[in-house]
């Protein structure tokens, strides 16, 4: 590598490091902000906000809950699932189509 190539490489990396990095706004835990809110497994409407459409428990980075309340949410969601208040799996899960023979193309035996 020549000295000219080295300087152009360095200048490219210097330009890239000067860019501002995207920093998302920090989410605040809903349960810490509202002290009177209680995590209860008997309230599935509130728990559905913390479950994805595939019936998975949403992570902290998506919901914004703190570690303490995320643990309590996970326990409450699991208890609600056990009592059939929340689903274990999504209703619209992919099912493979069943191959069937149409009714008008049934095989018949020839008459002798």
Evaluate whether residue 28 is within a structural domain. no
Is-above-0.85 flag for pTM?
A: no
Inside any domain, residue 67:
yes
pLDDT tens-digit series, residues 14-61 = 555 677 888 877 889 999 999 998 999 999 999 999 999 999 999 999
The answer as to whether 79 is a domain residue is yes
Residue 46 lies in a domain: yes
Domain carrying residue 70: 36-91
Q: What is the CATH number of the domain that holds 82?
A: 4.10.640.10
Q: Determine, yes or no, domain membership for 13.
A: no
Cβ neighbours for 18, distance < 8 A, ≥ 6 positions apart: none
Residue 97 domain-assigned (yes or no): no
Residue whose pair of structure tokens reads 């899960």 in the numeric block: 93
Q: How many domains does the chain have?
A: 1
DSSP codes, 9-67:
HHHHHHHHHTSPPP-PPPPPPHHHHSTT----TT-HHHHGGGB-TTSPBPPHHHH---H
């Amino acid at each position: 590598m020549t000295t000219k190539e080295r300087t152009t490489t360095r200048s490219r990396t210097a330009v890239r490091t000067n860019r501002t990095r995207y920093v998302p706004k920090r989410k605040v835990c809903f349960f810490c902000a509202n002290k009177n809110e209680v995590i209860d497994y008997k309230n599935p409407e509130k728990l559905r906000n913390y479950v994805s459409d595939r019936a998975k428990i949403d992570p902290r980075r998506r919901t914004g809950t703190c570690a303490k309340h995320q643990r309590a949410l996970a326990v409450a969601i699991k208890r609600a699932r056990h009592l059939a208040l929340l689903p274990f799996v999504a209703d619209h899960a992919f099912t493979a189509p069943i191959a069937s023979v149409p009714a008008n193309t049934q095989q018949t035996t020839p008459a002798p």
